[in-house]
Amino acid sequence: MDILFLHDFRLDLTIGLYEWERQAPQPVLIDLEIGLYDHKAGHSDAIADTIDYGRVAQRIQESLVDKPLRLVETLGEHIAEIVRGEFGAPWVRITVRKLSILSNVKELGIIIERGSRF
């Protein structure tokens, strides 16, 4: 399996369980790994033979405009559903990281993996 990835995809989102977290958008970093069925694009050099990572990033960003979230789990699941459902990826791993939310923690977040790696 080939894995297409986007690392440190930054979005400013209203996300958080606590009221003080939802006062203003905060930076969230996303690492996205997308499994591809085959390596056809490596031979054809054609975007039609792969998943267009630019379209994926744009779709994720558009889907989150004015969508307040409470949990990083919800954000990860939302992204997994887009990548698998709309782009047909058989496997996806999403890491969602919130930055400096707690005074003694640099990052916190979740890793969600959906589908089967083969």
Any idea where the domains of the chain sit in the sequence? 2-115
Question: Both tokens of residue 96?
Answer: 């969602």
CATH class of segment(s) 2-115: alpha beta
pLDDT in tens, the chain (118 residues): 899 999 999 999 999 998 988 898 999 999 999 999 877 888 899 998 999 999 999 999 999 998 889 999 999 999 999 999 999 999 999 999 998 787 888 899 999 999 987 6
- Residue whose pair of structure tokens reads 């744009």 in the numeric block: 58
